[in-house]
Chains A and B, each alone.
Chain A
């Protein structure tokens, strides 16, 4: 197992180095003078330009620049925002819990609806239920989620008036963040109605963000389940006279889950991409909206830092999924 872990990490390290190279090149590829872009000042004098050039280190050889960039990263320095002048890492960490909370709730929705739906569809293959689930899943998979979010706002906020249009929490409540997760913090604060408010803000964005993972999980569960149901050991279990629920729940499901878990893990990248759109529509103060805002405000050092941090998170989660996969399925760890 240890050699399997080391091998996986050995593959990931050069990739991560490549990712830092992309983030490093990003600022230098932007059209225009990088000093002007990073300083964000107007009417800069020659002397000031030269001074900043030296300060940012753009006058040094490119390899030296990359070396010192890596050095800064190693010390946890991901740059300073051009607009707010705060460390990018700090900004990222204050917004990150909002995205994580949204993603977790979205994934819970996706797994708890998608898994049973896909399972039942496979067991009742060819039935009306199967057709309905698969049509719904394909529709969800084809959904432009930014539009889906707008539709939900029209219906639930506009017509029914049930949910707020944007944000994480009603302005009526205030409490210090403890965990950064509104659902937990609102409960900890003990204020009446705070939890309901947090939940009503969260539910629509979570549905929107969870739609594509839900569709993917339902489809994947169904096809994995169908494959397993055709295997010999399932037939044997049936022939032994086990009850259908036992055959499906105990023998089939456990093996069908292996590919499904991988798919769930792979949704992390999808969630980040979805968060960009979902958070923009619902003004959800998370990483996705922050990245879009940073790009449109030309806060390029934030974009650079955010790009790197997001890629790092995606890679780490994928690594964990890979390792878990090897743990569940020994065939993987020995054949590779």
Chain B
């Protein structure tokens, strides 16, 4: 309940953006998991931004006196390397901290790439209908006919294995989802009165599409963005694991796992920790995504 005070004739109840944000937060904070996810995610973002100050060592610095040293609580471990070292004597904790930068970067780049291309294509399909629509949607069907990871792998084979190419491939594989969502939302909005009104007063096409209609289609897109942020991190890690993503010595979590595979039965920490970092980050984002869906999409609310 918002408190209302009256100063003479002026009504100071909050309206517009602030009220919307307040309502959003009321729904979002109702979901305890979503809040936990948000806190965790913010913590990762802070760690990633201040990696230089948080990490005890440089990510690629090799300490020749400490190969495969276990974490500090095990025999032979020391607080110099709190989470142990890898096979060439690099500090695990520092590599994990720097790795968070890559994962967040991958998520941001892939989502913004897929979102912008997907939204534009979806807007065109939904707005113009007819042949444009058929052409775009068939193209998306073709992309969706391939298992996503397989198509990403093949695209990387064409482009050459690197982090940038892996991100491009994943963005291409993900954008059909945005196209479908945008198209469906646009088609729903097109028949509404405010669109007709805007047309009647002669609003130009581009403005109609991007300024009048698009803002009303954002809710499902935001939810999808959260989902595909986590999928992007997972897929990029999988490509890194298969040797088709970020290349060593980049401390990307999936690539770290690939390096660690041969030590799987000798040094549990080099295998367990990068995967745990991926899992916790993705879990935090997915928890947030569930909260966003509850708060933004009244139709799916509480389901």
Contacts and interface: CB of A to CB of B under 8 A. Distances in A.
Interface string A296-316: 100010010001001100110
B88 interface: no
Contacts of B150: 272-273, 276, 291, 307, 310
Contacts of B238: 144, 146, 277
B278 A144 contact: yes
A239 interface: no
Interface in B222-248: 230, 234, 237-238, 241-244
A138 B290 contact: yes
A139 B147 contact: no
A144 B237 contact: yes
Interface string B260-301: 010011001001101100110011011100100000000000
A223 B300 CA distance: 9
Given A26-B154, A147-B257, A315 B145 contact: yes
Interface string A278-302: 0010000000000110011000100
B138 A18 contact: yes
Contacts of A148: 275
Nearest to B268: A154
Chain A: interface secondary structure? helix
Interface residues of B, number: 44
Interface string A142-169: 1110111011011000100000000000
B264 A138 contact: no
Q: Could you say which of B243, B261, B279 has the most chain A C-beta atoms within 10 Å of its C-beta?
A: B279
A15 interface: yes
Given A141-B286, A144-B282, A310-B147, A226 B242 contact: no
Which 3 interchain pairs have the tightest Cβ spacing? A147-B275, A18-B142, A273-B149
Interface of B: 33, 138-139, 141-142, 144-150, 153-154, 157-158, 160, 230, 234, 237-238, 241-244, 254, 257, 261, 264-265, 268, 271-272, 274-275, 278-279, 282-283, 285-287, 290, 303
10 contacts: A15-B138, A16-B145, A18-B141, A18-B145, A22-B142, A30-B157, A139-B283, A142-B286, A307-B150, A307-B154
